[in-house]
Every structure is written in C-alpha cells, then in structure tokens.
Amino acid sequence: MIYFDNAATTPLSKVAINTMIDLMSTVYGNPSSTHHHGREASKILRQARLTISQALRTNPKNILFTSGGTESNNTVLKGYALKHQDLGKHIITTTIEHHSVLEPLHYLASQFGFDITFIEPVEGKIRVEDIEQALRPDTILVSTMFANNETGYLLPIKEIGQLLRNHPAKFHVDAVQAIGKIPVYPEELGIDFLSASAHKFHGPKGVGFLYTKDLDFENLLHGGDQEDKKRASTENLISIAGMAAALQEDITQMDTNLTHVQNLYQELIKGLDGIHYYLNEEDPHLPYVLNLGIPGKANDLLLMQLDIAGISISTGSACTAGAIEPSHVLSSLYGKDSPRLNESFRISFSDQNTIQEIQTFTKTLKEILGE
C-alpha cells in the first residue's frame, strides 16, 4: 500500500508513538493537581509548551493548546471578533481558505452582522494590493492560510504582515499545512494569531495549538482555569507530548526532509513524461503538495482505480471528502464551470515516502490510462 494523502493526515512518527506509549504507563496525573502526580504531569506540559515555542521562536506563554486546527481557527475568528466588535465588524479573508475558516466567518456574518470581504485569486495568486485596497477603518481581522491545502500555493504572508503593521487589524494565519515543513516564525512575519494541527506533521489527531501574543478574546470553552484561563478543559497531556516530540523531530530534520520531498516531486514530474496532464499550481509553491489533472479523465474514477491498485490519493480536502460540490479552491482559481474541477486530484508527500513509491505510482497511472 502506498500513501500519498499526507495533506489530509500524516502517519504517526516513531518518536511520537514512543513518547506517548512511555507516558501512558508512567504519567497519569492531572496537570492542574498540586500533588506529586499532578506536578509530574504539569512538568511534561510545560516542557511540551517550551518545545513548541522554541520551534516558533516565541515565548512559551504564547502557546495555547487546543484540539486542532479547526478549534484554533474558530477560537481566533469567533473569539477575537466577538470580543472586539466595538472596534469594527469587518474581516478580510480569501476564497481559497479551509472550511474551518470560511464557516466561522459565515457564522459571524449571519448571526452577528459582520461584513466579510473575500479576496479572489488573480492568475492563481492572492495579491497584497487587493488586501490593502480592501482594508477599512473598521477592519479588525485579516485571516489567510500560509500554504493552501489543495494546491500547495504559498501565500504572501510576510508582505501581508508588513502591510498590517500600519493598520490596527490583527493578522491570523492558518499554518496547518506549513508547520514542520518550512520555517514559520510568527513574530518575524508580523503574525498575531497562528493555528496548527499535530496530525499534519506526524503527531496524533485531535490536538493542536494556537499561537497568540498578548491579545484578548472571548473563550469558546468555559469551566476551569486551564491554559491561562483561555481554554477550559483538562489538557490532552499524552497527545500534547506526542505533538511536541513530532514537531521537534521535524524541525530538527527540516532541511533534510525538504530536500527529500523536492526530490520526490521532481521524480514524479519526470515519471509523468508521456502523459497528457496539467498542473494546478503557482509559485511560490510547497513541494509537499502537487495538484494535477488528466484532461477527460474523471478524478473520482481515477481515485477509485488507484485505490484498487493500493495507492491512496485525494481529490481535495479530506474535510469535504464525499461532498457533491467540487473544490471551492479550484473553483476560485479556474471558475465553477472549468473541467478541471472534475479532473484534478491531489498527491501529497511526507518525508516517509520514497522514490520507489513514486516510480510505482507513475507506472500504475500509465497502466490505468493505457499509456
């Protein structure tokens, strides 16, 4: 079996598995308890927070543990917007965002009267000048992703951060697809909020974090005083430790992993020689994700044929798998009537994939296409 759907989720790394197994049998106290077992758990929690903060070059107090990217995005968009709606009710985002950004914004618009501006890509790219033109005195948030989950396109984060230094609007970045793969330092990029999810960088599912620096927002969860009174609920200690271990390993091996994945990408392009295909991508581009289409070949049928052959790919975001509607990302890029919407599919790599798997994939694809 060959797995090329790492943008949906990655396999757990050995270091994450071993870290979690060790803690499962030795550390079971509540981090909020003051006795020995609680202090032992609290120490693990502090170490994980320190590890993640060092990866982002920030202070540990700026890291808030969550259940993943969706909760982190919802916390920022709902929590900050509702807390500061007296300053304005205008938010800017793009049409190519993940649904965990788009849906909270639709909620804010329908239930609280927020005005959302959706920036459309031009020739495949989000332009900083379009965001600048959309800014208003009542704009309180700008929310964009770091890397698109369907095409790998890298948005101009640094330039947007520089733009907003002269505006009171806060900058939220959904960095779920970028963390652990390329350097992401929010304070150097002018980012105020940053969302991440462990299962995208070989950590466990159901855990993530939110970077937030000295900013006040409405809590989504109420109850205890965990996470500096910003997120009630006993911390998912085992998963948090696994997440920190996975991220630390990815950060340590980042250059090596990136070079390996770039080689995988180039091997795939080379192996596609002889096939009539097109790429759905723009530079700058994350090599971990490749989106392509075969003219006249239905992507759902191709996915099924490859699945039968033991190869897992995707036609888009896992959060919308099975949906009747085609990809909103490709629709924004090429128009809702483009044949690309029903022909395109996504191949996404991790450092665990091999050149041999790429060669098997291209050979199998050519057999299916009769090339």
What does the pLDDT look like over 341-366, one tens digit per residue? 999 999 999 999 999 999 999 999 99
**pTM given for the model:** 0.95
Q: Is 207 in contact with 67 (CB distance < 8 Å)? A: yes
Read off the pLDDT of each residue in 176-198 and give the average, rounded to a whole number. 98
Of 186, 239, 175, nearest to 215 by C-alpha is 186
User: How high is the pLDDT of residue 321?
Assistant: 52
What Å distances lie between residue 137 and 113, 131, 164, 210, 307, CA to CA? 17, 13, 12, 27, 51
Per-residue confidence band for 317, with pLDDT thresholds at 50, 70 and 90: low
How long, in residues, is the chain?
Answer: 371
Per-residue confidence band for 326, with pLDDT thresholds at 50, 70 and 90: confident
Query: Which one from 319, 355, 368, 369 is the annotated catalytic residue?
Result: 319
What percent of the chain has pLDDT above 90?
A: 94
Q: Is 76 in contact with 217 (CB distance < 8 Å)? A: yes
Of 257, 332, 229, 314, nearest to 5 by C-alpha is 314
15 is catalytic: no
User: How high is the pLDDT of residue 214?
Assistant: 78
pLDDT of residue 100 exceeding 80, the answer is yes
pLDDT of residue 323 exceeding 60, the answer is no
Q: Among the residues of the chain, which ranges form H helices?
A: 14-26, 36-56, 69-74, 81-83, 99-112, 128-134, 157-164, 186-189, 226-229, 237-252, 254-271, 299-308, 328-334, 340-343, 355-369
Backbone angles phi, psi at 193, to 5 degrees: -130, 140
User: How high is the pLDDT of residue 324?
Assistant: 56
CA-CA distance, 241 to 24, in Å (whole number)? 11
What does the pLDDT look like over 106-137, one tens digit per residue? 999 999 999 999 999 999 999 999 999 999 99
Q: Would you identify the CATH topology of the domain 14-251?
A: Aspartate Aminotransferase; domain 2 (3.40.640)
What does the pLDDT look like over 256-289, one tens digit per residue? 999 999 999 999 999 999 999 999 999 999 999 9
Of 105, 96, 95, nearest to 74 by C-alpha is 105
Per-residue confidence band for 319, with pLDDT thresholds at 50, 70 and 90: low
In CATH, 2-9+254-369 is 3.40.80.10: no
Q: Which residues on adjacent β-strands are paired with residue 171? A: 142
Read off the pLDDT of each residue in 187-197 and give the average, rounded to a whole number. 98
What Å distances lie between residue 2 and 175, 269, 311, 358, CA to CA? 26, 18, 5, 9
Domain with CATH 3.90.1150.10 in the chain: 2-9+254-369
CA-CA distance, 324 to 39, in Å (whole number)? 50
- Largest Cα separation within the chain, whole Å, is 67
DSSP 8-state class, residue 147: B
Q: Which residues on adjacent β-strands are paired with residue 5? A: 348
- The radius of gyration computed from the CA coordinates of the chain, to the nearest angstrom, equals 21
99-103, 131-135, 218-222, 250-254, range with the lowest pLDDT? 218-222
pLDDT of residue 318 exceeding 60, the answer is no
**Bond preceding residue 284 cis, omega within 30 of 0:** yes
pLDDT of residue 39 exceeding 60, the answer is yes
CA-CA distance, 118 to 307, in Å (whole number)? 36
Q: Work out the angle at residue 351's Cα, subtended by the Cα atoms of residues 345 and 352, and round it to the nearest 5 degrees.
A: 90
CA-CA distance, 132 to 191, in Å (whole number)? 16
User: How high is the pLDDT of residue 305?
Assistant: 97
Q: Is 250 in contact with 257 (CB distance < 8 Å)? A: yes
Per-residue confidence band for 150, with pLDDT thresholds at 50, 70 and 90: very high
Per-residue confidence band for 88, with pLDDT thresholds at 50, 70 and 90: very high
CA torsion, ordered 243, 177, 295, 102, to nearest 10 deg: 110
Residues 6 or more apart from 27 whose CB is under 8 A from it? 37, 40, 41, 44, 237
CA-CA distance, 273 to 337, in Å (whole number)? 28
Q: Which residues of 208-220 are buried (b: 16+ CB within 10 A; e: fewer)?
A: bbbbbeeeebeee
* Mean confidence (pLDDT) of the chain: 95
Domain with CATH 3.40.640.10 in the chain: 14-251
Read off the pLDDT of each residue in 62-77 and give the average, rounded to a whole number. 97
